[in-house]
Structure 1
């Protein structure tokens, strides 16, 4: 029988970009999608406390930077490098704060993998609390469902230092790589999907022998923390760091599925100033208002090379930023500074000797959208960091 019913009237519907293509978006979607991650994936709130801790301000630093014979200012830097947020903190005071691409102070931008370094700091808190007994504990002590797979011999320390030895492909341009299959599982909100992917990964090297970047390792590190602390990763971050540090806005972790495990290694959402507060927490050695949250020496251990970066893995951005080694989920520069690194230009620079932190949120184009006229964005960031160091040195 012919359907003679009247079709529904056309309605205004907001179109959202496909979450499974998160690592493949064109630039026009990046600058929109990175601020609405919580509309594309399941998330859990990192709750702020009852009152924000004001961030003191000092006189704005006046500086430009030089690169390839050209002198440019901060406005040039913002425009040339697709920067959404730029923050510099010196001696606990904001000395530079800029917003671009329509991004606003109260909005949350995708952290990408910079959250790996944040999650790793929580391991120190869990050690300090006695929830984790030792970095040399087996992962299966906390996540027994991984017994019998390639993660059987992996320890918490191996996860922290990206040395699990698991054969994982972190290729953002290949939709069939492990990292993009992981991304699709998150977009589809598959309960247990990421653990199933990890269980199926073969062993590539003995645990602890070789460094290989692996987003799956930090997902598992988050699962270890949840099991060890007996709660959610978001709640533990809130209790140990977000509330004590007086964060201004709620943050969030992305989840593997509705109500599921947090993704400890990518695509969390945080405001620019709250990422700056986290950087200050590291500069303060994990002490807030006289209360020690991280074990004494934990930041120093995190900044101690566990592995040199292999020469064949010195990608252009790593060379531009002089990234030479890897510690406890922190990238380590030749000048002794620490960096948290995230996909598409998310960067947290921490120089403890200079008491300086620089946070950048950006939308670097994905490889297939890069033109021949692109600047070397990380070389420009490195030049700006050098200029900020010089301008704040007294």
Structure 2
């Protein structure tokens, strides 16, 4: 299955550094990060960012297959795909698996053990070559890219202040917060991640109007107050996953797509 992956974010509405798709054999579209979007495109992103958590099941089933229509992004090209051979089938009937997937509204299910595929099924009309948004899988990618940036010398230390890489956060609640504290979501900055609250930060994080070249997620984070000393309180924050993407881009001078293609996509043998 080809997976639409928002490397900059915890979920599809988190595109502070631009969404990323992994192309299979088609040519890559023109590069477009959020800081390169037109005012009309930014408005579309703000609207989708505010609405995505409240989509109906039918809207999710339609939009999760092609999130680039809602959130324009950039495309990484795969290298040599890593083979995933078939393994011994699980001791479970197709009927049982299909009943579970239907009850849970599952689009795709795969079980891999020791590098072999023991189960692979699709629902909601999906096929193996289709794409589906990966949501919080993005956290694993962005955090891995921080490690790569440290190894490559782009980030001197995860104990560096965030403002070293994102200076526009100076004077905000992020003054004195380290990259490590962003990675561990212990910045001490106040945040509401309630997906059912239309006034929560996770809904409003792309809502700040910005000028050309500005990142709306960073602009929103800059407005938030501090509620605890950095490093003392853990709060799940999608906005800070986006911020990690911005840090990596600023430190490396590359888009997340470019750096992920180099450090993850090709070495790992992604097919799509």
TM-score range (shorter-chain normalised) is: 0.7 to 0.9
Structure with greater strand share of residues: 1
- Residues 160-198 of structure 1 deviation map (CA, whole Å, 9 limit, x = unaligned): 111111101112122221111125569xx9942211100
- RMSD between aligned alpha carbons? 2.1
- 1:104 paired residue among 111, 127, 134: 127
Structure 2 match to 1:328? none
CA contact (8 A) 2:206 2:220 kept: no
Structure 2 match to 1:245? 268
Deviation at 1:139, TM superposition (A): 0.7
- 1:129 paired residue among 144, 152, 169: 152
Matches within 5 A, 1:24-35: 24-35=54-65
Matches within 5 A, 1:363-374: none
CA contact (8 A) 2:191 2:237 kept: yes
CA contact (8 A) 2:78 2:271 kept: yes
Deviation at 1:155, TM superposition (A): 0.7
- 1:164 paired residue among 179, 184, 187: 187
4+ residue runs over 4 A deviation: 183-186
Q: Which structure 1 residue ranges, 5 or more long, are not aligned?
A: 1-16, 65-71, 250-394
TM-score, normalised on structure 1?
0.54
Measured in 2, the distance between the counterparts of 1:244 and 1:62 equals 33
The SS at the match of 2:127 is coil
The SS at the match of 2:53 is coil
Deviation at 1:18, TM superposition (A): 5.0
CA contact (8 A) 1:169 1:178 kept: yes
The SS at the match of 1:94 is strand
- Residues 235-269 of structure 1 deviation map (CA, whole Å, 9 limit, x = unaligned): 111110101112112xxxxxxxxxxxxxxxxxxxx
Larger radius of gyration: 1
Measured in 2, the distance between the counterparts of 1:124 and 1:191 equals 25
Structure 1 match to 2:174? 151
Residue 118 (structure 2) pairs with residue 95 (structure 1): yes
Residue 71 (structure 2) pairs with residue 38 (structure 1): no
Count of aligned positions: 223
Q: Which structure 2 residue ranges, 5 or more long, are not aligned?
A: 1-46
Measured in 1, the distance between the counterparts of 2:241 and 2:271 equals 26
Q: Larger RCO: Structure 1 or Structure 2 (Cα < 8 Å, ≥ 6 residues apart)? A: 2
Matches within 5 A, 1:253-272: none
CA contact (8 A) 2:205 2:221 kept: no
